[in-house]
Structure 1
Amino acid sequence: MKKLRTLFAAVAVILAAPATAEVELSFYMGAQTSPHSRLTGSADFGGVPTAIDRLITWEGKSFEAPPYYGVKAMYWRESGWGYGVEMTHAKAYASSADLTALGFDRLEFTDGHNILTANLSRRWDGQWWNGRLSPFVTGGLGVAIPHVDAQPTGEARTFGYQVTGPAARIGAGIAMELTTKWSAYAEYQMTYSSNKFDLDSGGSLETNLLTNALNIGVTYGF
């Protein structure tokens, strides 16, 4: 507990310290994958609850509509510390083999496996290439708000947004200054989310999803 209190006090000092501030708005796209994860719970078939426990192979399909993307807003201090919010519109499709094994027509989070987090970041301004390249790291905690699209064969289709559990992200990258207002950046980012969602046909399912992504983005600062 003493170590946690010390950490929280240090973060408070960093964020409260008087310094020149900068606000940045960013948009990014990229290539995103989701490793396999175990799906557990139950689904009703003809009104009969059926237990489910299977390792699912997920597909990201980053560039198929709707595409993978993200947006974020950051408030940076002269100290190099910043905080803000970020939303990532990731995707996860169960493979056709898994759908057949489960007896489902659909099982996907494809109008967004949306990860919303509050972020704390650190960057090192102007480290390389005549001061134009700046490395950074970021981390965040928040919630998963996926658009659940699931349908056991012959049963009602679940189709809508649900708040399914806690989420987190970590990332690291490098930004390149283009003008005094605009910059571009590349980063690796990983998200984690714990997801428990209800089925309109009866039952509920649960899985922990990871995503790995290589992002390319643009930023406007003011």
Structure 2
Amino acid sequence: MRGCGVLLVLLGSVQAQSVGLQIALGFTSSAPTDLRVVQQGFPDTVVGGARFEGRDLEGFPYYTLRLWYGERGGLRFELELIHQKLYFAGAERNGAIFEQFKVTDGFNYLLFNLAYALEAGPLRVVPRVGLGVIVPHPETVVRGLAWGIDGDPRWYHLGGLGGQLALGLEAPWAVTPGLEGKFTLGYSRLNIAGGYTEGWFRSLHGTFGLGWP
């Protein structure tokens, strides 16, 4: 009888697990950052206070895609892609060396998250934390030298490490609408012609989307 009881508990635990998919659009705001530029034939330079725009709904939009396994109301393990975009919008000093600096095919975060869904009346509150890698696709012209071709997948490269802190709200329906706020932080090295530029990237994100279930 004890064995049957244990078996029922295990079966109940397995049945409580779910697989879910969530996709969202959103908006971003990035903090100014100092970027170190290392380029063959030129002295190392710091572009101070570099500012970036997201242009989140322009062209192919900002989006997030998340696959999770776990409990609808409880612990979840997640894989998430955050497709952020960056367009250089000026700097406090030395910004003139960037004749073009954009990351339109994605300043992409690939993250493993831990999340916990808490029942809060008719909604679920879902805090999450994630760590992973950054895979950018820069298209730049630095000091007259071009690197990267928009739309060509061969220009993706492993660019660094990053993570997120996020807080989401879900409506527990068959098709689940949701809102989420995120903070992402990453240190990335972006390839340019004859070298690279590197620095910290900090952004706030607001997303809205749907999930199944």
Give the alignment's TM-score, normalised by structure 1: 0.81
1:74 corresponds to which of 61, 64, 68: 68
Which residue of 2 is the match for residue 7 of structure 1?
none
Q: Paired residue for 1:138, among 128, 132, 142?
A: 128
Residue 9 of structure 1 corresponds to: none
1:156 aligns with one of 143, 146, 149: 146
Instruction: Tell me whether 102-111 or 85-94 shows the greater mean CA deviation.
Output: 102-111
Q: Does 2:97 correspond to 1:103? A: yes
Within 5 A, what are the aligned runs for 1:20-169? 20-44=16-40, 48-54=41-47, 55-77=49-71, 80-96=74-90, 101-125=95-119, 127-128=120-121, 132-159=122-149, 160-169=155-164
C-alpha distance in structure 2 between counterparts of 1:169 and 1:98, whole Å: 27
Unmatched segments (≥5 aa) in structure 1: 1-16
**For this pair of structures, how many residues does the alignment match?**
195
Alpha-carbon displacement from aligned partner over 1:66-104 (angstroms, at most 9, x marks no partner): 211110011123771010100000011111457983322
Q: Deviations over 1:117-144 (max 9, x none)?
A: 011000113x21xxx3111101111000
Which of 173, 180, 188 is equivalent to 2:181?
188
Q: Contact between 1:49 and 1:203, CA under 8 Å: does it hold in 2?
A: no
Which of 24-33 and 73-82 deviates more?
A: 73-82
Could you tell me which amino acid in structure 2 is paired with residue 152 of structure 1? V
Runs of 4 or more, structure 1, over 6 Å off, are none
What do the CA deviations read for 1:7-42 (whole angstroms, capped 9, x no partner)?
Answer: xxxxxxxxxx94510111000001111111110132
CA drift of 1:49 comes to 1.9
Distance 1:76 1:50, change over 3 A: same
> What is the identity percentage for the equivalent residue pairs of Structure 1 and Structure 2?
23
Partner of residue 10, structure 1: none
Partner of 1:5 in structure 2?
Answer: none
The TM-score, its normalising length taken from structure 2, stands at 0.84
**CA-atom RMSD in angstroms:** 2.1
Cα offset for 1:210? 1.3
Asked if the contact 1:99–1:106 (Cα under 8 Å) also holds between the matched residues in 2, the reply is no
d(CA) in 2 for partners of 1:114 and 1:212? 15
2:137 partner letter: H
What are the superposed Cα offsets for residues 171-193 of structure 1, whole Å, 9 maximum, x if unpaired?
00210133xx2110101011111
Alignment partner, residue 218 of structure 1? 210
In the TM superposition, what are the counterparts of 1:163-178 in structure 2 within 5 Å? Answer: 163-178=158-173
Matched residues in 2 for 1:164 and 1:107: separation?
15
